[in-house]
Amino acid sequence: MERYVDVAPGVRLWAEDIAPHADATEDRTASAEPLLLVMGANASGVAWPDPLIARLAERHRVIRYDHRDTGRSTWAFDEHPYAISDLGGDAIAVLDAFGVERAHVVGMSMGGVLVQLLLLDHPDRLLSATVLCTTALGSGLAAGDPADAAPVLPDPDPALLALWQEMDRPRDRDAEIAWRVEHWRLLNGSGTPFDAEEFRALEERVVAHAGRHDNPAAHARAARTGLDRGAELAEVEVPTLVIEAPEDPINPPPHSGHLSRAIGGGRLVRVPGMGHALNSTVIEPVAAAILTQTAAAGTAAAPS
């Protein structure tokens, strides 16, 4: 079921509620716990691969949505500017719109940063959290002031930094998709095979969903205020899994290790060879890690 969610004056988000897999039993469908997917910067909800969603929907009611300035959500950063931290509140608004009191939440990249904000500000709304390809609040790209980041962790690959300088340049549709495929090639890294056609098909779907191919890079321009909260992570009690991608060119090790240690009760799982991309070779281990996490959290929360 698709719907639009108003999150601020003049700003609405596209969201989709995906019922549990058709093969699930009636009892499992009725009791399926919600799982919210929070995507990374400048990426819409349909960037989550369909095979991953299908695996998660074997046990969960899956909810995904388009951030502001992506997909079918409002594109109006210049008229309605915001900080990255504001996007955390958008996730809660999506849960409210679908009548979800508590959910498992999965965040990738910037989405993982937003999930950390949810852990701090809305722990009562989370059954569990899983973050991947991300960094801790107050560090790396999640530092409000990069000069104050602590500890000092590796920067993104210089080749990526150079490509990001071209992110918002005007291109026709074919050139834009070609640029995005090259972006995915760098994000994927060399630890697993890169299939250009797989990511071309993904971006064709993303563009068709949005109805436009331009990229205003709004999240790269959004303020980073409110992110220097890494010290608060030690108080987190919600079961939290950190998935480490050892070949991640944006947040390489030891970013994930630092985050898992910073979070109270955090747990670390490594997916060998994974970069900053959900290609077909890593979907199964990522799905298995998420489902193990949600099952354990559900068991822990169940009355004895």
Q: Name, in order, each residue with C-beta under 8 angstroms of 28's C-beta and a sequence gap of 6 or more.
A: 20, 59
Query: Does the annotation count 219 as an active-site position?
Result: no
User: Of 21, 86, 248, 258, which one is the catalytic site residue?
Assistant: 248
Give the Cα separation of 48 and 286 in Å (integer).
12
Q: What letters, b where the CB count within 10 A reaches 16 and e where it falls short, cover 251-274? A: bbeebbbbbbebbeebbebbbebb
Query: Does the annotation count 60 as an active-site position?
Result: no
Whether 260 and 266 have beta carbons less than 8 Å apart is answered as yes
User: Of 73, 109, 139, 260, which one is the catalytic site residue?
Assistant: 109
Whether 13 and 7 have beta carbons less than 8 Å apart is answered as yes
Query: Does the annotation count 109 as an active-site position?
Result: yes
Q: Name, in order, each residue with C-beta under 8 angstroms of 290's C-beta and a sequence gap of 6 or more.
A: 35, 56, 106, 130, 241, 243
Q: Which residues carry out catalysis?
A: 109, 248, 276
